[in-house]
């Protein structure tokens, strides 16, 4: 029997991404200043240190918003999260591939038309089941999208606050 390991928690990974993005955000300007001073590069030009810091700020904002949306979705809606995880692992297509791809059984001479009709009906039923699964999948992602919009607006407003 092979040794199986429990799945790793994604919480520490998300915190690591946010910490890494924040570290790059705070350490990039001094590193760029040292780089330009060491190589005697002119600071006046098309790329200012503030301009180069914008992508790093965007990365911090992105990782913060995703982690702020993921955590409530994961813990407030564990059933929806489990369904989305199962769908992403391939259970969305489970038991439907043969009927959806139209793999017909070998026809016999005496009942070809009936088998064709039965296969066509099976395919329609499979298409309907697949549509229902896709709609369920999208509805399961809906709370994550709502949390993502809220988190993005919160992070954007907190980064644009100007003190008096």
Q: What is the pLDDT of residues 104-146, one digit of tens each?
A: 555 555 567 777 777 778 788 878 888 888 898 999 999 999 9
Q: What is the pTM of this model?
A: 0.56
CA distances from 113 to 39, 101, 110 (A): 80, 19, 9
- The answer to whether 56 and 28 are in contact (CB under 8 A) is yes
The total of other beta-carbon atoms located within 10 Å of residue 64's CB is 21
Query: At which residue do the structure tokens 């407030």 appear?
Result: 76
Give pLDDT, residue 125. 83
Distance CA 24, CA 77 (A): 33
Q: What is the largest CA-CA distance in the chain?
A: 88
Mean pLDDT of 88-106: 64
pLDDT at 56 over 80: no
The set of residues, in sequence order, having a beta carbon less than 8 Å from that of 149 and lying 6+ positions away, is none
Mean pLDDT of 82-106: 70
> pLDDT over 70 for what percent of the chain?
72
Between 28 and 113, the higher pLDDT residue: 28
Mean pLDDT of 152-162: 80
The set of residues, in sequence order, having a beta carbon less than 8 Å from that of 14 and lying 6+ positions away, is 63, 66, 67, 70, 71
Distance CA 18, CA 20 (A): 5
């Amino acid at each position: 029997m092979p040794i199986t390991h429990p799945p790793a928690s994604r919480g520490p990974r998300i915190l690591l991404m946010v910490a890494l993005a924040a570290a790059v955000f705070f350490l990039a300007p001094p590193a760029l200043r040292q780089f330009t001073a060491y190589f005697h590069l002119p600071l006046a030009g098309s790329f200012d240190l503030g301009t180069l810091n914008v992508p790093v700020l965007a990365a911090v904002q992105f990782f913060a918003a995703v982690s702020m949306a993921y955590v409530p979705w994961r813990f407030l809606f564990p059933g929806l999260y489990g369904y989305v995880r199962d769908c992403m692992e391939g259970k969305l297509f489970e038991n439907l591939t043969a009927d959806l791809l139209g793999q017909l059984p070998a026809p016999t001479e005496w009942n070809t038309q009936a088998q064709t009709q039965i296969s066509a009906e099976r395919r329609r039923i499979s298409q309907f089941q697949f549509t229902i699964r896709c709609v369920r999948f999208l509805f399961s992602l809906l709370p994550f999208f709502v949390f993502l919009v809220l988190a993005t607006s919160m992070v954007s407003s907190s980064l644009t606050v100007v003190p008096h």
